[in-house]
Structure formats: C-alpha cells, structure tokens
Amino acid sequence: MKKVTVLSAIILATIITGCASTSAIGELQSQVTEISTDVAKVSADIASANALTAEASVKSTNAEAASLKASELSKIAAGKLDRLFKLIVRK
C-alpha cells in the first residue's frame, strides 16, 4: 500500500511537471519578481516610517522640555508679580 502511494505521488509530480509550459513558468517568474519588488518597496516604506517616528520622538522630547521651562518661567514671573502687587497694596 505504501508503494502504491509513493508511486502515485511520483506519477502525479511527473504529470504536473510535464504539464507546466514554458510560458507558465515565465509568468510565475514574473510574478515572483513583482512580489520581490513590492516587498522591497514595503521594506523601504517601513524604514522611512521608523525614521520619521524617531524624528517625531526627538521633537516631542524637545517640546516637552520647552514646555517645562516655560512653565517654570511662568511660575517665577507670577511670583514676582505677586510680590510687586503686595508692595503696591502696602503703600
């Protein structure tokens, strides 16, 4: 029984290989080339997206630092204005 199954598989493979024409093989090769090109484009797009993400992260960090500095300066200015107001009210 095993020999019949193996023999059937060999015959089937021979038939399939024999039925494949040169144009069909060429068409498959063309499709493989097209897919490879698409994969390369997608890989390039992913690399570009990663670079943009890294750049955005740096800008976000810089914006956060600037925001914290502005907040600190605002508190200092508010304190100075409060002291000035208290001086004016006392006079």
Sequential pLDDT tens for the chain (91 residues): 555 566 566 666 666 665 556 677 788 888 989 999 999 999 999 999 999 999 999 999 999 999 999 999 999 999 999 999 998 988 7
Percent helix, percent strand, percent coil in the chain, to nearest 5: 95, 0, 5
Tokens of 19: 């039925």
Residue 49 burial by Cβ neighbours in a 10 Å radius (0-12, 13-18, 19+): exposed
Give the number of domains in the chain: 1
pTM of the model as a whole = 0.53
> Residue 70's domain spans which residues?
2-90
pLDDT value, residue 25: 77
